[in-house]
Amino acid sequence: MTRSDIAPALADLSSHRAQLDRLRTQDLFARDPRRFERFSLRLDDFLFDFSKHKADARTIELLVALARAARVEQRRAALFAGEKVNLTEHRPALHMALRNLDGGPILVDGRDVMPDVRAVREKVAAFAEAVRSGAIRGARGDAMTDIVNIGIGGSDLGPAMAARALSPYCAPHLRLHFVSNVDGADLADTLKGLDPAKTLFIVSSKTFTTQETMANAASARKFVADALGEAAVADHFAAVSTRLDKVAEFGIRPDRVFGFWDWVGGRYSMWSAIGLSLVIAIGAQNFEDFLRGGQDVDQHFVSAPLDRNIPVVMALLGVWRRNVWGEATHVVIPYDQRLARFPAYLQQLDMESNGKSVTRDGAPVAMATGPFLFGEPGTNGQHAFFQLLHQGTDIAPIDFLVAAEPTDADAGHHALLVANCLAQSEAMMRGRSRAEVEDILDKQGLSKHEIAALAPHKVFAGDRPTSTFMYRRLDPRTLGRLVACYEHKVFVQSVIWDINPFDQWGVELGKELCNRLAPIVQDAAKPTTGLDGSTAGLIGWRRTLSA
């Protein structure tokens, strides 16, 4: 049963869908020569085109009514006011403060947090510039050439994604590496070829207890200590953490520890000191431009009318497809090789935030929540899973991302890349009918029998909804805008689904069981009594293989 406050709005949308079902998206373009203008939104050069969705003016009107029924505007105000919107952890979610560059106060429990935010930002910038200039050196006096960020989840995905996306802006004399997996191969492959005397490790863990991160940090510490001596650890490590005691035990000096706050969730932490590796790579000014891009969207999100608000419209179109059309998957295709990690970053942002089955007050949800999200850069995805997107039995809405101009890339290649992006969005909408296929095959000289046999395989249903982001080029400010748009989209959808997007209790059970199983896996003498039959059997088989 749908939550009562939005039930009438959803019923109106369901009835409206039945009317649109009789049309094709191309019919909507035929009816309205200005459709692209009416169904696209702009923030300076940053454009969001949703005209290829099966939606008309009435659709948007009904979706906005849904947002108002769900009290999106009120919940948005609570978010920005620093209220404890993360109900289960009794915390605000104020990552927007990290990119507040205008100096206005932002309050948490009546206290302005901006002086602390600015102080950490300045400390990060100063340290980063010292590493970049060579003022900070290793134990033997060498300038750093390699920076290794050790983290996992939000302490890895955001900086790793952004560093790759902004590689043309990275210092040419520095190499950036990211280690996240507890699989020893991740760290081992990273350390190959690195000179410990010229390597800086950044351990990113708020509590300094994250299992995977601390296992990798301990191995990295041994790498330095074995090569340079125990005393060298202090010269080759920095930390992003709030646990000064544990950081000190590890051997990291207080002036190389950078903190953040419990109102910064992991998957929103790239804007904080967690972005230290990124600041070192691209420089403080470029990082500020990245922050400014996020702030651009924050200001747009709180001021633009709902029907002209990019994150709100993104969210409402997602609800339209998820809850009215019943589509469980969302696909993100950046036509930019440097955005290769952007879909993985969004997987955490979206699925960890909105992968919930209870409402904010703990009752079972009454409607489907977050979609499964995946993606791959174009054109690689076209030669992998686009077959299913075009002709599969399920429909998956797609976001395309593309720059008008390349950044440090061949202009001819880029024109071909853009053409591929536009061709795919057109093909998803248009499809190809049986009659069109038969006409093409007839002109190719096939017989009627051959046409009858082949034609069904070449039909494309079309009417597959896509949105397209287009911007001048992928620079730090544009990346900031993209990330913030998706952050606020996820928040708006959580409001409509009445769930808490800022906790992630679903990751806890696996961690607890791992802590219980690790001693049994490590010590073959320990009994498997009390384990389920499959787990006990797998541990036994591993012991056989490892004997």
Q: Which residues are tagged catalytic?
A: 352, 383, 511
Which residues, 6 or more positions from 532, have their beta carbon under 8 angstroms from its beta carbon? Answer: none
Residue identified by tokens 């913030």 is 484
Neighbours of 545 (CB within 10 A): 7
Extract the tokens encoding 119.
């102080």
Quote the CA–CA distance of 94 and 79 in Å, as a whole number.
Answer: 7
Alpha-carbon gap, residue 544 to 155, rounded angstroms: 37
What is the C-alpha separation between 159 and 345, in angstroms, rounded?
10
**Of 346, 425, 351, 417, residue with least CA distance to 380:** 417
Q: How far apart are CA 219 and CA 213, in angstroms?
A: 10
* Spacing of C-alpha 55 from chain mean position: 26
As a whole number of angstroms, the distance between CA 311 and CA 488 comes to 6
User: What's the CA dihedral at 389, 391, 395, 401 to 10 degrees?
Assistant: 30
Query: Using CB atoms within 10 A of its CB, is residue 266 exposed (0-12), middle (13-18) or buried (19+)?
Result: buried
Query: Residue 107 forms beta bridges with which residues?
Result: 112
Contact at 8 Å (CB) between 277 and 201? no
Sign of CA dihedral 219, 220, 226, 227: positive
Distance of CA 533 to the CA centre of its chain: 37
Cβ(421)–Cβ(428) below 8 Å: no
Structure tokens at 316: 């409402």
